[in-house]
Amino acid sequence: MTDKNHQEHVDDILEIVDTAETETGTTINVDEAEIADRLDKFVQKRMEPEDGVRVIAKEIIRDAGEDPYKFVRGSGTGRQASGSNEQLVAGDIEEEGRWIAFEGTVIDLNDPNPEGMIQTGRLADDTGSIRFTIWETSDGQNPIDISLEIGESYRVNPVVTNLYEEAEQMELNFREVSEVTKLEGDDALDIDPDTYTETVSGTIIDFQDPMGLVDRCPNNDCGRVVKQRDHCPDCGDIEAEIDLRTKAILDDGEATWVIILDADQTAQEANLTLEDAEELVREHNDRNVVDQYIEAQLHGEYLHVHGMNHGRNFSVESTELIEPPSVSDLATIREHLMELP
């Protein structure tokens, strides 16, 4: 028996299907009880019934061999709400499993991986950026019938939050109920992917290889770190150049990033120049001593990093090491606290 509260939504689905039948001349067989059951399952997943109406109607019409988007709105060019999902900004998304509305500009797109992933990248607003992923539907379709483009702003509603475990960060997963609207003119966000940067802060909790003194391909259009001094996997035979870098894990208590500090940033934060590092290796005849020195200098330090957030990795443009409070600072803070009523 259909919940009386949802009968009107079942009727909405039947009305959409009837319109599709009339306009296309295609007979579309529907089972009202089955529709009601499918709608109840959507509601149990905390989806708005209005969103369930759209996805179920789309599936029925598509299964009949007709284009569902002629009869069910799935994207557009204006601000239109879907259900009553709360609109959140990137900086406030902390809980997984929530259906929300979100507006952002695509600042990065990555190669889809694994199989079944249509698009993945990052959306940004004025408070930060967040990874997004669009997966194929069970029948291999794009759930939103649109491809997102770098530099364009979009409103998506609803979209579900999920924990991207590899980076311990939140992400947005697009589903077939998601309505994507391209924002244009004054509605678009004023964000340029080429210049967009953000700042994250955290404690350096670990390090990764290769770091310290590394061998790098000398070609300007490559520059990758290589394992063999005389060979680059991309460029072939080379004569590698010596470089200095730090590869560390930054943890803010909620998320982690892999950060790489170049030679100048390593000199600034670890007080070790490339020349100093080479001298250490000559003295000890062991490159590992450079890694050990950097780790001793930076492990447990609190750092602000400014640059481009790619999710798991963060491209660092500038850094600032935050000095811990001195004993006298702590004593002053304690005195102030004691004076409080």
Residues 192-244 have pLDDT tens digits of 999 999 999 999 999 999 999 999 999 999 999 999 999 999 999 999 999 99
275: Cα separation from own chain's centroid = 38
Whole-prediction pTM: 0.69
49: Cα separation from own chain's centroid = 28
**How far is residue 36 from each of residues 10, 27, 53, 56, measured CA to CA in Å?**
6, 20, 10, 10
CA 247/CA 258 separation, integer angstroms: 7
Domain boundary among 45, 72, 99: 72
Query: Residue 122: inside a domain, yes or no?
Result: yes
Query: Residue 266: inside a domain, yes or no?
Result: yes
Residues of the chain below pLDDT 50: 1-2, 74-82
Bridge partners of residue 232, in order along the sequence: 236
Range of the domain at 43: 4-72
* Same domain flag for 139 and 61: no
- pLDDT of 140 reads 77
200: Cα separation from own chain's centroid = 14
Query: Residue 337: inside a domain, yes or no?
Result: no
* Same domain flag for 152 and 203: no
CA 54/CA 52 separation, integer angstroms: 5
- pLDDT of 78 reads 30
10's torsion region: left (phi>0), alpha (psi -120 to 50) or beta?
Answer: alpha
Total domains present in the chain: 3
- pLDDT of 2 reads 47
- pLDDT of 74 reads 44
Q: What one-letter code names the amino acid at 315?
A: S
Query: Residue 235: inside a domain, yes or no?
Result: no
The CATH number for 107's domain is 2.40.50.140
- pLDDT of 238 reads 95
- pLDDT of 292 reads 97
- pLDDT of 5 reads 61
Q: What one-letter code names the amino acid at 128?
A: G
Confirm if 58 and 19 have CB atoms less than 8 A apart: no
Query: Residue 83: inside a domain, yes or no?
Result: no
- pLDDT of 230 reads 95
* Same domain flag for 204 and 278: yes
- pLDDT of 329 reads 74
Query: Residue 107: inside a domain, yes or no?
Result: yes
* Same domain flag for 118 and 143: yes
Query: Residue 230: inside a domain, yes or no?
Result: no
Query: Residue 28: inside a domain, yes or no?
Result: yes
